[in-house]
Amino acid sequence: MPVNSLTLIAPAKLNLFLHIIGRRPDGFHQLQTLFQLLDYGDELTFTLDQNEGVVLTCSQPELVNADNLVIRAAQALAAFSGQSFNVHIHLDKRLPLGGGIGGGSSDAATTLLALNHLYQLQVCAADLLMLAAGLGADVPVFVNGQTAWAEGIGDRLTPMSLPERWYLVVFAQQHVATPLLFAHPQLTRDTPASTIRAALAETGHNDFEALVRKLYPLIDRAFQACQPYGHARLTGTGACLFLTLPSERAGSNLLNRLTLDHPELSVFLAKGVNHSPALRRLRQQAD
């Protein structure tokens, strides 16, 4: 029986490391990174109705516009499948904008997966990944729905299984201009390529971190605030950083301490997972 309404978590991700190993002739950077999915993210509710087209509402109304990746994902799937959608999508935005944790990309991927399921389109995984790549470099990992090693421009994915650890994610309330970072002359672009994958989750680094800390003083202060509690690392091109915690209890204690001592920071605790909560929910629906 067709489902008329569906609520899914669009999970956040962390880059446990991010190495730039070179640049292609077309100007795109060659990367190596490890995407860690989290059990926390934006929440999207899809409700089929009789209205014409796709109607998007959001807990942050200023995000409702034609450039929103949720709208663009729905349009891409409609054009590919030939199916018109009459659906109300509500986005409960929980992840910070421009945080380097994949909020918009995950929202887009979740939209592709949800509409494919609700309308029983049976668009195959390879075609969904093709549509995802056209929406943004980080969208495919969320369509795949697995923690993964990534190469190329972040589009060549190899699923991996990692220990499901706890992470405290810290947002310094400062927007990072990603194009500026990629073009900056001080960006390191010659980290040696590695074939060691899981080990880099602990020993790798983020080639953007030093530059981001130099250019964005609020992010540097966030690093300083975290310094007494462990080794904080930047995710993506920022602006979020994260600490790895030994347990949920340790993470909760540190969250409370940082929130009290540094109210200027936005902090959340999440568990690393190997499989997307959105895909897990869709499989439950299919069963």
Catalytic residue flag (residue 138): yes
Find the catalytic residue in 13, 42, 107, 207. 13
Q: What residues contact 11, with CB distance under 8 A and at least 6 apart?
A: 37, 38, 39, 40, 41, 106, 142, 273, 276, 277, 278
- Burial class for 52, CB neighbours closer than 10 Å (0-12, 13-18, 19+): exposed
Contact status, residue 254 vs residue 247, Cβ threshold 8 Å:
no
First vs last Cα of the chain: how many Å apart?
Answer: 12
The alpha carbon of 231 is separated from its chain's Cα centroid by a whole number of angstroms, namely 21
Find the catalytic residue in 42, 93, 107, 138. 138
Catalogue the E-assigned strands of the chain. Answer: 5-23, 29-48, 54-58, 87-92, 148-152, 156-159, 166-171, 233-234, 240-245, 266-273
Distance CA 16, CA 199 (A): 10
- Burial class for 252, CB neighbours closer than 10 Å (0-12, 13-18, 19+): middle
Show the tokens assigned to 116. 């494919």
Q: Which residues are known catalytic residues? A: 13, 138
